[in-house]
Amino acid sequence: MPSSNKILLLFLLSLATIIHCEAFPRHHEFFVKEASYTRLCETKTILTVNGQFPGPTLHAHKEETVHVKVHNKGRHNITIHWHGVKQPRNPWSDGPAYITQCPIQPGDSFNYKIIFSMEVGTIWWHAHSDWSRATVHGAIVVHPKRGTCYPFPKPQEEVPIIFGEWWKEDVLQVLNEFVASGGAPRDSDAYTINGQPGDFYPCSSQNTFKLNVAYGKRYLLRMVNAAMNEILFFKIANHSLTVVASDGSYTKPLTKDYVVISPGQTLDCLLEANHVPPRGRYYMAARAYSTGVGVSFDNTTTTGIVQYNGDFVSTNTCIPLLPSLPYYNDTTAAFDFIGSLRSLGPILFPLNKYDTRIYSTVSLNTFPCQNNSCAGPNGTSLAASMNNISFESPRIDILQAYYNYINGVYGTQFPSEPPLYFNFTSTDLPLFLQTPKRATKVTMLEYNSTVEMVFQGTGLVSAQDHPMHLHGFNFYVVGWGFGNFDETKDPLNYNLVDPPFQNTVLVPINGWATIRFKAHNPGVWFMHCHLERHLTWGMNTVFIVKDGHRTEERMLPPPPSVSYDRVADQTNTVDNTDNANLPDGDGVSVSQKAGRLHHVTNQVPRHNHEEHKSGLDGMGFNQENPISLDTTYGSNINPKGDGATSFANVLKPERAPRKEVLSRKAKAKGKRTSSGFHMGKGASLAPKKQIYVAKKKNSEAGAAVQTSNTYEALNSLGGG
C-alpha cells in the first residue's frame, strides 16, 4: 500500500475515536422557569428548563460524573430524575419526590451529582413530581469511554428524536381535574417530535421537525419516549431502522421497518439514507399503540420529515411519502419487535439462579366513593396497584427516613406474591377483587442478592400494557408471554443467553414479564409504571437495598445539598416505640447566625423526660422542668461568636452501623447517651430514629426554616 494511502487510513481510523476524546462540561445549571409556547393555534405558559422545550441535552462519557444545579424559578415544587443513570451508592440524587428527596420549592435550588457507570448510549432526564415532566425533560447522551469507539459503524450525525404529548390546557390542571373527579385524565391534543406536532395538526406545518440527510450517509437517531401516557409505534417511509442500543445498553443489531417505544424507554437506531430518486422527502411518523378495551386515547399522528439534500430533492414543496404504521391495537406487531431485542453482552452475572423472588400483579383498580359520586366505573374512583397495594406517597421522603432509622413512614412488608390467586387475565372477574389496600410498603433486599421479579397483568377494570421502570438498575428481561404465568413451564423458555438489558420493561396486555437483576446498588430505589396516570393512581413500590460489609458497598452519606446543618428548627419525639427519637452519636448542629427552635415531645407513658444541652458556649439557655406525658417543650438556641456551635454532637457524615449504637437497655438505666440526653428512670430512646425535615417558606420575607421529624411534615408545601 502506498505510504500516502497508509497515512489516509490511519487518519480515518483516528477520526472514529476523536469524538470520544472530546471533553464535555462537567457542571451545568438548570433554571426551571415558565415560558410561553404556541402550539395548535394557541399560546400557553409551560414549565421549561432554561426556556427550552424539550430541554437541553446533556453529554458525558461513560463513567464520568456530572453536576447539575437546579434552580426552581417556577410556581410549583419540582424534582429532576436522571432516568437510566444507575447512580451507584448515590440515591440522594435520583430525584423522585418523597422517595429520595423532598421537592425543590419555588425559589430554592438543589445540587444533583450524576454518577455515570455502565451506561452508554441514550438515556434521559425529566421532572419527577406531579405531571411536570410533560414539558420538563431532555435527552442525555453517554458517549463511549474516552479513546473507545461505537460497536457499530460511525454515523455521519447523531440526532435526538424526542417524543412528547401536548395538551392545550395547563398540564397541572389536567392532573388536578382527574384526581379530583376520580376518573381518567383527558387525552392529549397532540403528540410531538422534538416539541413539534407536525403537518397533520392545525397551525403546525411551518415548524414541523425536518432532518436533512445526504444520500449514502448514516445517521444515529437517539430516540426518547417522553410521552406521558402512550406507547408509540414509529416508522420512516421507505426506510428501515437498525436498533443498536436500548435504555443505555448496546444491543445486537436489529433491523426493522418500525419500532415500538414505551414511555420511559430509549432506543438508538441507525438510519441509512439510501433511497434513490425521484422522491426526496419522507415522513417519519409516530402514533399510539393502545390496547385497553373501552380506554380512550389520543389517536392522532405526529410527523417529521426526512429530506435529502442536493439533486435528489426535486422540490422542497413536494408532499412527503407517509409510512404505513401498524394499527393501534396490533399487539402481534408490537411484541414481534420487543421480543426480537437481544443484548450485545457480556452477561454481567449468572442468570440461571436467584436468591429472592417476587411475583407481583400489576392491576387497575377502583375505590368506592360516597354516594357513587366519582367519575370512575359505577361511580367509583380509579386506582392502580401492585400485589393489591395501591402505593401512597409518604409525607417525608423514604430515603431520609431509612437513613435516619425512622419508623412510621413506610412498612417493610411489601408482599412477595398476590394475596389471592385467581384467573388473573379473565375478562369476567368479581367486583370485590377491584378494591386494593392503600399503603406505603417497600421490599428490603440483601446487598448483592440476585432478584427475580415476575409481573403479572390482570383483567381487573381494564387489561392494559404496563411499562414498568426500575430506578437505580438495569435488569435482564429473561422472559415474557401472554396469559397467566406458569411457574413450572414458562421458565423453561427463558432467554438466559442474551436477554435485553433494560430499565423499563413492557408487560403485555393480559400477560406477564420476568426480569432479573443484581441488587448491588445500596439505597432506596423507586419502581413504577411509566404511564403517568397509573403512577398517579398507585402502581408503584420501592426497593431498599441494604448496605454491604465493605465501605465501597455502603450507601454514600448525604451530600451538602441535603446536609442536616442547613436545618434550622427541629422536633424530637420521645417514646417507647421505634418512632422518631434522637439517634446515638448524632445531634443538632447550629451554624453561626442560624438560630434554632428545638422541640421535644414526651410520648412515654408513666415517665417524665428531661433534656440536657451541653456545649452551649455563648448560648443562652434556661433549664426546663421535666416534660410530662404528651407535652411539648420548645427552647431557642442562638449561637454567638465567629464559629459554628452545637449542643451534643454535630451530625456525622456517615451512619454508624447498628452494632456501634449504645443499647437501649443501657439508656434505660439512665446512662448519658452520646447525643447529650439524659433519660428518666425506665425510659428509653430507640437508636437511630431521627429525621430532619426542611420546609422553607418565602425567603424574601425572611421567614425561618422549619423542620419536623414527625410524619405530619407539611406535604402541601413540599416539606420533607
Residue-wise pLDDT tens digits, 340-359:
999 998 999 999 999 999 99
Using alpha carbons only, what angle is made at residue 143 by residues 138 and 149, rounded to the nearest 5 degrees?
150
Phi/psi at 18 (5° precision): -60, -45
**Nearest-angstrom CA–CA distance, 24 and 268:** 20
For range 627-653, the mean pLDDT = 36
The tens digit of pLDDT for each residue in 14-35 reads 444 444 557 888 999 999 999 9
Number of neighbouring beta carbons within 10 Å of residue 112: 26
- Same domain, residue pair 84 and 164: no
Residues 386-402, mean pLDDT to the nearest whole number: 97
Residue 154 in any domain: the answer is yes
- The pLDDT value recorded for residue 629 is 43
Q: Say whether both 518 and 443 belong to one domain.
A: yes
Whether residues 515 and 393 share a domain: the answer is: yes
What does the pLDDT read at residue 698? 34
Angle, CA of 702, 703 and 704, to the nearest 5°: 115
| pLDDT over 60 (residue 118) | yes
Does one domain contain both 398 and 532? yes
Look up the pTM and report it: 0.79
Place of cell 384467573: 423
Of 87, 120, 149, the position where a domain reaches its end is 149
Residues 240 and 313 in one domain: yes
User: Mapped to the 3 state alphabet, what secondary structure does 531-557 carry?
Assistant: CHHHHHHCCEEEEEECCCCCHHHCCCC
Name the 3-class secondary structure at 474: coil
Same domain, 293 and 387: no
Is residue 90 domain-resident?
yes
The yes-or-no verdict on residue 522 having pLDDT over 90 is yes
Same domain, 293 and 321: yes
Can you give the residue range of the structural domain that contains 200? 150-341
Q: What is the DSSP string of 332-355?
A: HHHHHHHTT--B-S--SS--S--S
**Number of domain units in the chain:** 3
Helix (H) or strand (E) holding 4: helix 3-18
CB within 8 A of 92, min separation 6: which ones?
A: 100, 101, 113, 399, 556, 558, 559, 561, 562
To which H or E segment does residue 369 belong?
A: none
Q: Model confidence at 275, in pLDDT bands (50, 70, 90)?
A: confident
Among the three residues 282, 307, 341, which one is the final residue of a domain in this structure?
A: 341
Neighbours of 183 (CB within 10 A): 16
In a domain, 596, yes or no: no
In a domain, 638, yes or no: no
Mean pLDDT of the chain: 81
Query: What does the H/E/C string look like for 120-181?
Result: CEEEEEEECCCCHHHCCEEEEEEECCCCCCCCCCCCCEEEEEEEEEECCCCHHHHHHHHHHH
Tell me, what CATH number does 286's domain have?
A: 2.60.40.420
**SS3 of 560, please?**
helix
Q: Which of 149, 169, 194 is the last residue of a domain?
A: 149
| C-alpha cell read off for 127 | 421532572
Of 171-185, 539-553, 592-606, least confident by mean pLDDT is: 592-606
Q: How far is CA 662 from CA 20, 501, 674, in A?
A: 52, 44, 8
* Sequence-ordered list of residues with C-beta below 8 angstroms from that of 552, at least 6 positions apart, any chain: 89
The yes-or-no verdict on residue 595 having pLDDT over 50 is: no
Are 227 and 139 members of one domain? no
CB 664: neighbour CB atoms within 10 A?
17
CA distance 645 to 653: 17
**Do 367 and 516 have their domain in common?**
yes
pLDDT of residue 316: 61
